[in-house]
Structure 1
Amino acid sequence: MSDPAVTEQAFRRLTPDGGESAIARELAEEVPIALEFNGIGYAVLMATPADIADLVAGFLIAERLQSPGDVAVEVALHQTDRGIVARANLPAERTAALLDRVRHRATDSSCGLCGIENLEQAIRPLPRVTAVCSANEAAVFRALADLAAHQALNRRTGAVHAAAWADADGAIKLVREDVGRHNAFDKLIGAMRRADATWDGGFALLSSRCSFELVEKAVLADCPLLVTISAPTRLAVERAADAGLELRVLARSDAMLALPR
């Protein structure tokens, strides 16, 4: 019986000495899950498609729409070709809190949209990457080796992610740090934009896994190559391929993975 949470992906394993070999890895699935409470499209989460009812229950507590002592709501799941819609009805006494939270919650789409429409908003078409990366594998390994030296905040705290811009030779030109990997990348892209800097044949290096959202950020910033320390999800790989974004993942000092040519 197949596991809906994982899928197998072929990669090329690249080493500092120029070696290359084929390897297969299981990738975690990442799908949009639209949450509807009392018929209101509340949020879209990118998540592993397993234990979704647990996810909804925990999310309701985190959003202060239920407390740990409340009876857990029934969750109905509806599979679509774009993702999963999870629907639940909260008790009448929670309606005011739900409506108040919807009014104040920052979302990418209006709260009145149904789940399927929200899923379409979550997986919108991406432009093609037009920038070109001229860095070779040696340059990527160089940037990997130098990244820690540029992580001043992480040296002090051990609790933040880094996003770096490296040039075609692998020299790190700019780094931003944040407790959130998405925030760190946003900061880097924003800093480059404010400085009118382009990738100039270089690439982005992130101290995180390769998620769907980070791939989208890279594509929208016209980044030609995204390098991440940890593994990608299947959706991240698919979205990168569709947009023409090169990936190097599980990038460590002794090896990193690239998609087959």
Structure 2
Amino acid sequence: MDAGAALLRFERVEAAGEATPIERAIASEVPIAIEFNGIGYAVLMATPADLVDLAHGFALAERLIDAAGDVLDAEAHPAEGGILLRVTLAQGRADRVVERVRHRVSESSCGLCGIENLEQALRPIPQVSAVWRGDDAAVFRAFAALEAHQPLNRETRAVHGAAACSADGGLRLVREDVGRHNAFDKLVGAMLRAGKGWEGGFALLTSRCSYELVEKAVLSTCPMLATISAPTTLAVQRAADAGLPLRVLVRGDALLAPVR
């Protein structure tokens, strides 16, 4: 059993009343405290695997970095109650951390507080530089292949997957996490670290299409975003603003493409 899951004991109760003790693999979820240049920035609930990838992808999504070289170091350290992920950014990027922390949108249940935070929540989104021109048959091929590339989900049935797909639907790279945002950040971070681009392909996510995922896709220069669940209205609007093609509610026999 790797860091992504743990064996826990349960009692399986049948409808007829019979109970049997069993062991089952359960997805790991722990607090990951992310620190940039000594400044506490965020705490994510995540699967404790591929954390250096997570650091890179999260930093890009937060607009703290522009390229992999902006991250000088990233190390995960066990801490009481979770994991401390210490990230060192290049000197020219450290100022972004201070500025972003000052304006950072509250993620608590009270929602957004104040006009300044509303502006930060919906910051201008750049235009997609290379739009996907592929055939939807590629999306169906990627969807059909994805489950075989999700070992942790096969084991636990409790995690999301994020895949970088080639233009013809082949799976180039996959990352998994209990959080859909984390899975996508890990994928983007792994691509950054390996010096890989989208190469005319697209991203396929096992989640709903939220506006945050649209923004992560745009900031990573992804040519197209496909998700297996439905979008929100804001996700569709932000994608249209950026010129990002969407494919949503992807199934083996159908998908939806928003009409502009």
For normalisation by structure 2, the TM-score amounts to: 0.57
- Given that 1:135 and 1:170 are in contact with CA atoms closer than 8 Å, whether structure 2 keeps it comes out as no
Query: Which residue in 1 is equivalent to 2:97?
Result: none
2:219 aligned residue: 220
CA 1:216–1:108: 2 relative to 1, 3 Å: farther
Which amino acid in 1 is paired with 2:207?
S
Deviations 1:83-124 (A, max 9, x none): xxxxxxxxxxxxxxxxxxxxxxx9672699961101100000
User: Which whole-Å CA distance do the structure 2 matches of 1:211 and 1:108 have between them?
Assistant: 25
Aligned length: 156
* Residue 162 of structure 1: how far off its partner (Å): 0.2
**CA contact under 8 A between 1:176 and 1:187: conserved in structure 2?**
yes
Q: For the residues of structure 1 that align with 2:258 and 2:174, how far apart are their CA atoms? A: 26
Rate the CA distance shift 1:111–1:223 in 2: closer, same or farther, 3 A.
Answer: closer
The answer for the alignment partner of 1:162 in structure 2 is 161
Q: CA deviation at 1:135?
A: 2.3
8 Å Cα contact 1:161-1:178 kept in structure 2: yes
- Aligned residues of 1:135 and 1:167 also touching (Cα < 8 A): no
Q: Which runs of 5+ in 2 are unaligned?
A: 1-99, 107-111
Is residue 2:185 matched to residue 1:191? no
Q: Which amino acid aligns with 1:141?
A: F
Partner of 1:148: 147
Query: Contact conserved, 1:166 with 1:172, CA < 8 A, in 2?
Result: yes
Gaps of 5+ in 1: 1-105
RMSD: 2.0
Cross-structure match for 2:81: none
* 1:129 counterpart = 2:123: no
Distance in 2, Cα, partners of 1:187 & 1:198: 14
1:242 & 1:207 partners in 2: Cα distance? 23
The two structures have a TM-score, normalised by structure 1, of 0.57
Q: In terms of Rg, which structure is larger?
A: 1
Separation in 2, partners of 1:227, 1:114: 31
CA contact (8 A) 1:131 1:199 kept: no
Question: Which residue identity does 2:244 align to in structure 1?
Answer: L
1:1-261 alignment runs, 5 A limit: 109=103, 115-261=114-260
Moved over 3 A (4+): 110-114
